[in-house]
Amino acid sequence: MARGRSPGYDEQCGTILAGAAQLFAARGYSATSMNEVAQACGMSKPSLYHYFRDKYALLVTISEEHVSLLETVVGDVLAQQLAPKARLYLLIQRFVEEYAGAQHAHRVLTEDSRFLNEEDRERIMSRERRIVSAFATVITELRPELSAPALAKPLSMLLFGMINWMFTWLKEDGKLSYEAMAPIVADLFFGGFPAIRLPVDGE
């Protein structure tokens, strides 16, 4: 009979993933060793291997769980059946706020995804594309005429450009917080959104 997991197994996995994400974010994936991860988590290296077979398994799990969390946010917001503008506003707000608690994992996803093998990278990127598509769908609902020149996805990527790289300049001990920035990002996007002009042939 196979031995079941201990009651604290999932909690310990979470602790390890958080510690590894912090190290990867600070030092880079390639410069971090399993021994350093074990030390950061207050455990022995053999114990660490009981939970994760190698450093690559940590990278995949950190990246995939972060994307999974964002997919859950999208699902939660879409399930509320809000009007398009309120839906997009809430998506922006929730994403910025989620990044506040997942800064290390987000940095790993954006900066260390190049170390993923092709299969894992494509699987994770396909989930990211679904998230972008959800934003693009709401943008198209707000301005249906944007669908013909296929502007909804580029606008979504521009919006993510504001959100995704906030961790590079927003300091944890600074005067501004992610919570304070969330409505600012939304207002900035919505302030310029009505002014977007459709491209004219020949321009």
CA dihedral 36, 50, 109, 127 (to 10 degrees): 180
Decide: helix, strand or coil at residue 108.
helix
CB 91 within 8 A of CB 74: yes
The confidence score (pLDDT) of residue 168 equals 81
The confidence score (pLDDT) of residue 2 equals 42
The confidence score (pLDDT) of residue 77 equals 97
The confidence score (pLDDT) of residue 169 equals 86
* Domain locations in the chain as residue ranges: 55-195
The confidence score (pLDDT) of residue 5 equals 67
Q: Mean pLDDT in runs of 10 for the chain (203 residues)?
A: 64 95 95 96 94 96 96 96 95 92 91 95 96 96 90 94 86 84 93 87 53
Q: Please state, in angstroms and rounded to a whole number, the distance separating the CA atoms of residues 110 and 108.
A: 6
The confidence score (pLDDT) of residue 22 equals 95
CA dihedral 20, 22, 28, 29 (to 10 degrees): 20
The confidence score (pLDDT) of residue 8 equals 84
- The CATH class that applies to domain 55-195 reads mainly alpha
Task: Let me know if 173 is exposed, middle or buried by CB neighbors in 10 A (0-12, 13-18, 19+).
Answer: exposed
